[in-house]
Amino acid sequence: MKTKIILAFSALILFTTCSNEKEESTIDEEVIKTVNVRTSTVVPQNFDSFLKVVGIVETSDDIMISAEVSGRVTKYYVQEGEKVKTGEIILKIDDAKLNQEKARLEAITAQARENYERLKKIYEEDGIGSEIDYLNAKYAYEQNTSSLASLKIDISNTKIKAPFNGIVEEIMYEVGEVVNAGAPTVRLIGSQNYTITAGVPARYASSIKKGDDVRVWFDTQNSDTLTKQVSFVGNAINPQNRTFRIEIDVEESERLKVDMISNIQLKTMERNEVIIVSEEFIYSKDGNFIVYVLSKDEKGKAVAKEKVVLLGASYKSNVIVEAGLEPGEELITIGSAFLNNGMRLNVVEEKNQIAAQ
Backbone angles phi, psi at 160, to 5 degrees: -85, 120
Q: Dmax over Cα atoms in the chain, in whole Å?
A: 176
Q: Bigger pLDDT: 252 or 300?
A: 300
**How many separate helices (H) and strands (E) can be counted in the chain?**
4, 22
Task: Please state the pTM of the whole predicted model.
Answer: 0.63
Considering the chain, what is the average pLDDT of its residues? 84
Query: pLDDT class for 103, splitting at 50, 70, 90?
Result: very high
Query: pLDDT class for 174, splitting at 50, 70, 90?
Result: very high
Q: Which amino acid is at 263?
A: N
**Average pLDDT of the residues in 86-110:** 92
pLDDT, tens digit, for every residue of 17-53? 444 444 444 444 445 578 899 999 999 999 999 999 9
- Sheet hosting strand 159-161, strand order edge to edge: 159-161, 89-93, 71-76, 178-179
Strand partners for 233: 246
> Residue 271 to residues 205, 227, 312, 335: CA-CA distances in angstroms?
18, 21, 11, 29
Per-residue model confidence (pLDDT) at position 223: 61
